[in-house]
Structure 1
Amino acid sequence: MPDRNVPEQQQGPQLGVGELAFDTRTRTLGVVMDTGNGRYSLRPPKGGIEWDAAYEDVRPATVTDQLRPALTEANARSRGDVAR
């Protein structure tokens, strides 16, 4: 149960390194690479440039969050927008 005397953004991280997370501000799926100073360092699951997100902007990734990038890519391929 959260401590009622500490604002949520000041509490410790809810996700650990290596867990899939969803950045609600950027609507982006990422893997937690590090935590600290009220922020997560996230990286795209397939690799890429890390970004920082505030604890309050990040939640555990749902199955829908995890499937969305693959579905977007499949739809783009079906339209001929992406090389196979």
Structure 2
Amino acid sequence: MKPPPLGSYVVDLTSARVGRVVAKVGRLLRLTPVGGGREWNADEGDVRPATASERLSAATAYVNARSRGELP
């Protein structure tokens, strides 16, 4: 499978988290969560493209957490 391009949204299959690809070194991808936050690494073999529904769900979860005061 072709590696995801920088800026694309993917699902990390090991954690079921949606993130945006911000860097790539070898097979290692650096992902940042929707809405910002702590970045994490994932192997390019452990991700798949995120659907529009998954991106919307992740964005909604971020906005809801922020409105509850759980995020800065």
* Residue ranges of structure 1 left out of the alignment (5+ in a row): 1-7
Residue in structure 2 matched with residue 36 of structure 1 by the alignment: 25
Q: Deviations over 1:17-66 (max 9, x none)?
A: 11111111100010101011211100012111110001111111112211
Percent identity of paired positions between Structure 1 and Structure 2: 27
Query: Which structure has more strand as a fraction of its residues?
Result: 2
Assess, with a 3 A threshold, how the Cα gap between structure 1 residues 53 and 73 changes in structure 2: closer, same or farther.
Answer: closer
Count of residues in correspondence between the two structures: 67
Runs of 4+ in 1 over 3 A off after TM superposition: none
- Please give the TM-score of this superposition, normalised by the length of structure 2: 0.74
Residue in structure 2 matched with residue 16 of structure 1 by the alignment: 5
CA RMSD of aligned residues (A): 2.4
Q: Which structure's CA Rg is the greater one?
A: 1
Which structure has more relative contact order (CA 8 Å, sep 6+)? It is: 2
